[in-house]
Amino acid sequence: MNTFGRNLIFWVAIGLLLMFLFNIFQGAQQGITGAEGEVAYSDFMADAQAGRVSNLTIKGDKVSGNFASSGEEFSTMVPPNENIVDRLQGTGVQISVKEPDGGGVTIIDVLFNFLPIILLIGFWFLMFRQMGGKGGGGAMGFGKSKAKLLTEQQGRVTFDDVAGIEEAKQELEEIVEFLKDPGKFQRLGGKIPRGALLIGSPGTGKTLIARAVAGEAQVPFFTISGSDFVEMFVGVGASRVRDMFEQGKKNAPCIIFIDEIDAVGRHRGAGYGGGNDEREQTLNQLLVEMDGFEDNEGVIILAATNRPDVLDPALLRPGRFDRQIAVPLPDVNGREKILKVHMKKVPLANNVDPSVIARGTPGFSGAELANLVNEAALMAARFNKRVVSMADLEEAKDKVMMGAERRSMAMNDEEKKLTAYHEAGHAIVALNEPQSDPIHKATIVPRAQALGMVMRLPEGDRYTTPLAKLKANLSVAMGGRVAEEIIFGEDMVTTGASGDIKQATSMATKMVTEWGMSDEVGMVDYGEAQPGYQPKRISTTTSNSIEKEVRKLIDEGYKKAKQILTDQNKDLHKLAKALLEYESLSGDDIKDLLAGKKLARDIEDETAGSDAPRSSIPVSAKPPKAAAAAKTAKPKAKAKPKAKAKSDKNETPKD
């Protein structure tokens, strides 16, 4: 039973107990006050001597009886040293004597008197229990470790489920192998690493690879978060560290994984808390336990953080964390492997190519790639598809990178035409610049803040960029604005090029101030100062030179773009008209269009029939055998109208 169920049962029991006690107390009070009618002693004696009382029952100082005429009950108290038996002799009253009740104290009276104390004890017990937590040991378990022993039988993660971070996986595989066969390394005098620190950006797979270690190690694996050491009581964090290592020693050899260790391992300094700060006490105890006088043989510490710059140097030294394992963002090959791992969990169409998606997602982490595949699966399910196609993955990629399509955005024909020529200008310049990356997709479908987009994909990940390529990128950035000037005139240019101008200015500024690509300014770093450092002082003369060089680079890109678009004016018009018709074109579609060939989607439309909806999602051409098979299976395809719902969504907007 989970914690919520136990708490619910506990509070329901308390409520029922309180209702029961309330009813008992209320019934007892009613019995005491309403069962017998109290009368004065003088009235009682007068009635008894007058013969109006039929019987009496004497219990110590209390007298009760019944009236002769009505039979109504009454009671009264006898004064001390009063002998009513002698006084009522001869009156005809039937008198009986009983032993008085022992002490007059009942269980109800005891409960009524001690109920506040019981409730107070129960309240404090509940508070201590809640503050102790799951791993705290109840009311007196503040200092108990909250580390959980991970025993995953179902959904166990192994190294086969981790891809794209081969170097980090190899480092941890060595630790796992040491635990399985320590003699292999000890023959040469090697010792098992005390700890390994996983460093990387959020979403790169630090926690995932730690879970893979847990699944592969075949030894006890304890997991705890850095924030679990922090508590409202002083000294609790240090106590939990001691208890955690005691658990580890009892289960040695074992692995202890501390996630987000920066919550407790921050750099010690003269802060407001001084040397008695709770966090510093916890860190000091952690340092001692990892490498102190007592040896922790067989206890390996794994930790993960995305902020290694804030960690204390004493925590990072060898002997505590012997290895600092970088978990970087995956390259194009790593992204392809990660996509293949996540694509195993969804049914895929035959046209899915993970390498294309990997090329189109530079800078994506493993978590973002997993989210991309999930979004594609949700998108396919929305249209009742049985498999996830390449179009779904492309749509999911665009959605993750730039936001969802704004199909409801009202754009008039003039704005659509201007956007089409703007994006066509970018594409034509990119095709005619030898150093530019190949075009992957051009679209005029609005997304987020962008009215259109031309996406270029590099053949592989680049870690350095040559000067010729940077100048080509400047020309491509200016292509949209130049196309507006050529087609609509200088007086009709719009604000649509603001993003392009900002991108070109940033690139040209870095070329001059950081990358030493200006002969006049030279190879001197004039970049912006990092946070926490004094700003760099630049003279007025140097600042003017920088501005001139930045302007010169952008003007060169503008002139190059204008020359290309002037020479390729026919291609500009042809591509813009195609974008107005299809809204989205792939790189292959653009090449076929400019070469005068029929687009693959037009061939498929002719094969499928003139009444088939036209899709704006680029579709790769089928091989001859596949095309023949599709032509043969034409009636079968018509029996599944739901599979075409995606195409209906991407129809060309009507005028």
**What residues are labeled active site?**
423
DSSP per-residue letters across 188-202: TT----SEEEEE--T
Q: What are phi and psi of 94, to 5 degrees?
A: -80, 115
CA distances to 18, 231, 236, 277, 387 from 228, in Å: 36, 8, 10, 16, 43
Q: Which of 67, 72, 46 is nearest to 55 (CA)?
A: 67
Tokens linked to 472: 């080509």
Please tell me the distance from the alpha carbon of residue 302 to that of residue 304, in angstroms, as a whole number. Answer: 7
> Could you identify the residue written with the tokens 């179902």?
154
Q: How many helices (H) and strands (E) does the chain have?
A: 24, 13
H or E stretch at 454 = strand 453-456
ω before 624 within 30° of 0 (cis)?
A: no
Tokens linked to 331: 């390259």
DSSP per-residue letters across 332-382: HHHHHHHHHHHHTTS-B-TT--HHHHHHT-TT--HHHHHHHHHHHHHHHHH
CA angle 88, 89, 93 (to 5 degrees): 65
Q: Is residue 554 within 8 Å of 504, Cβ to Cβ?
A: yes
Please tell me the distance from the alpha carbon of residue 522 to that of residue 107, in angstroms, as a whole number. Answer: 97
